[in-house]
Structure 1
Amino acid sequence: MEASNLVLVATDLKKYYQSVKAVDGVSVELRKGEVISILGPNGAGKTTTVEMLEGLRKPDSGQIVYFGSYEKTVDEVKERIGVCLQENFFFEDLTVLETLRLYASFYQKNLDIDEIVETFQLGEKLKTKIRHLSGGQKQRLAVALAFINDPDIVFLDEPTVGLDPQARRHLWDVILKYKDAGKSIILTTHYMDEAHQLSDRVYIMDHGKIIAHGTPQELITSSNLNSVIEFPKQYADKVNIQELIISGEYAYVTVNDPIPVIEKLLSANVRNFVLRHPTLEDVFLKLTGRKID
């Protein structure tokens, strides 16, 4: 990929708080027309990293280059990025339409509001005050506002939280539509299937560092995970299985040959187990020892 296609390059970012190294030497690249995901458990440093990339937090050291130039001013960059925060705050007494027009007025360049309304399925709520919207409707509006200035880079922090499965899938289609139009998107999400479906590349963070990155398939292949067996964790003490990971309500083990493990489970009268191919979530579990929170 040519350097001219790079729209954001962050190099060796660090952010320390007293004895805590929240971000400890993180480097990230984003290309034109690309979706990347930054994944990590709570406390991994991903939120601090994204806030530095958004310009909301200043790094202690390191460099961030937007659109190939060190010389871009803060105002220039803000005109060309869109942000959907994990927690959004609106003027509750404004209607949806008034909110869209207000946010559009903050920028020199805008997408057509009718296009935004259609794309994000807000038409039936245009005259509704924000306070009367459901959580899912507010979330759709928040994501819509991230695109209203026709940005080149869009930051989406947990964009599908609070959406029902149908609305979530629709938003996936919207994200891919804007990607195909040349938008570059940085995504954080708790949904591993979302990261897998949408991302060209994934960065996995833990303890303030990038511990792995690549395409979803590259991460799965390089993990050397062949098969995964999962079963309820209450049976973990009844079977002698090496390298067992317990997370949430389930125990997980990765194997090259599943037959010996299955025989142990059957001998212990464990019947409700699943044998499957590895996923991005299994890679995350192997690298961090826990599911994403």
Structure 2
Amino acid sequence: MTLALAQLEIDSGDVAGNRARAVDAVEAAANRGADLVALPEIFTVGYFAFDSYAEHAEPLDGKTVKKLQAVAAKHDIGVLAGSIVEDLEASSNAGFETPAESGYANASVFIDTDGTSQGVYRKHHLFGYDSAEQDLLTSGESLATVAFGNFTVGMTTCYDLRFPELYRRLVDKGVSLILVPSAWPYPRVEHWKLLPRARAVENLCYVATINGSGTFDDATLVGRSTVYDPWGTAVARLDEEPGIVTTQIEHTEVQQRRTEFPALEDRRY
């Protein structure tokens, strides 16, 4: 399977432009032969634009998801629309199961090649260090997985990388690929390189981190979106600038590594 990571330029003052860049990136990934493309965390508003969350929140069947569903179906490509600021009340009114009747969540939507939404992940661990995220958003409760091609795909988001128990739960659900939309800023570059690599090594699966690119009032994103294989080797990566990277990943690689080095079988609970 060919996986693409779309490291988008995110402008907190241009939601329509951010949405258009996301659609363009999906089309560009499809033209490169990608089967699946993943987008960064809160790519519509910009993670650090906390004052704009309420104004630009939308349901899971809102404008952003609908546009991405349409382009996915047009190009026969899977899309991780990860993530948007979700209006939980509007989603619940549209028939979606939500963790609360009102408020907002940091939600990623997995869209299949026919344009249907197959899974939703709402960020579990909300950042509390010098951030308004915990004050503004509701934590997710469910841990969805999606069958795509020969992979079982799991989703987490950014700060979740610091909590390895979440990834063990995904392993117990049979995941072979974990997608991690993020808005990871300077100065924590070394953490950004270490944590997803550790999650790949300890769980013997692919981990793909999809960061944004851009500078906000008090933060600059590090970029460096990367695909790590089950051995922890970076098989595709970008630098700080916006761009798209593609790489071939094989589900048999996960099976082979877990057979050759069956560390997961030695877990004690």
TM-score, normalised relative to structure 2: 0.32
TM-score, normalised relative to structure 1: 0.31
